[in-house]
């Protein structure tokens, strides 16, 4: 299956995908990868789903090429901005981008919160979840908000996105641990 990247209005990814799917359910399969993050609203923590790539929708097509008729229908759909790399000559996403999409699609419609721990040197160690395999792309960790900022290269652009994590076990030095033993905090 080939995937084409479409830039749409930011915040209207789901509406664009719904409009396109209802009009052409068989030929075009719109995909809006999402991520789950923990947000604090009114002094309560809750999970929220946000697009993984804000402003972008990926179209899955079984055929080798996007036909003129299909391009016209996509362009006529409300909230469309452009195809990548160009609207005149759209190209399917490259193999490395397809692997990245497959990584996030393997977790279902929503890339859930990863489970992590920290080693003795305060480095993040991903146990499971969407961050698994992307440890080298993590550029910043915010333990208080429980988010990891990662740099992804997609469609020849560099994105910074936040993915949520949950600390399952953290090694800390307890008071009076002079012989190097560490206490575990749950």
pLDDT value of position 1: 82
Closest CA to 99 of 59, 163, 153: 153
Q: What is the pLDDT at residue 175?
A: 47
- How does pLDDT run across 108-158, given as a tens digit for each residue? 888 888 899 988 888 888 999 888 888 888 999 988 888 899 998 877 778
Which residue ranges of the chain lie beneath pLDDT 50? Answer: 172-186
The structure's pTM equals 0.78
Q: In this structure, are strands 110-111 and 34-41 parallel, antiparallel, or unpaired?
A: parallel
């Amino acid at each position: 299956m080939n995937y084409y990247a479409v830039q749409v209005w930011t915040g209207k990814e789901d509406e664009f995908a719904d409009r396109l799917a209802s009009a052409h359910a068989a030929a075009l399969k719109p995909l809006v990868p999402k991520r789950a993050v923990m947000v604090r609203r009114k002094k309560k923590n809750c999970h929220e789903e946000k697009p993984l790539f804000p402003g972008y929708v990926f179209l899955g097509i079984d055929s080798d090429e996007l036909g003129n008729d299909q391009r016209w229908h996509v362009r006529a759909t409300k909230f469309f901005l452009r195809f990548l790399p160009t609207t005149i000559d759209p190209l399917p996403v490259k193999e490395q981008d397809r692997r990245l999409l497959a990584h996030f699609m393997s977790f279902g419609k929503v890339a859930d919160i990863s489970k992590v721990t920290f080693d003795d040197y305060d480095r993040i160690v991903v146990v499971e979840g969407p961050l698994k395999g992307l440890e080298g792309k993590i550029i910043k960790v915010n333990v208080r908000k429980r988010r990891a900022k990662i740099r992804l290269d997609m469609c020849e652009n560099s994105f910074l996105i936040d993915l949520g994590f949950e600390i399952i076990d953290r090694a800390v030095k307890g008071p009076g641990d002079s012989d190097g033993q560490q206490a575990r905090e749950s």
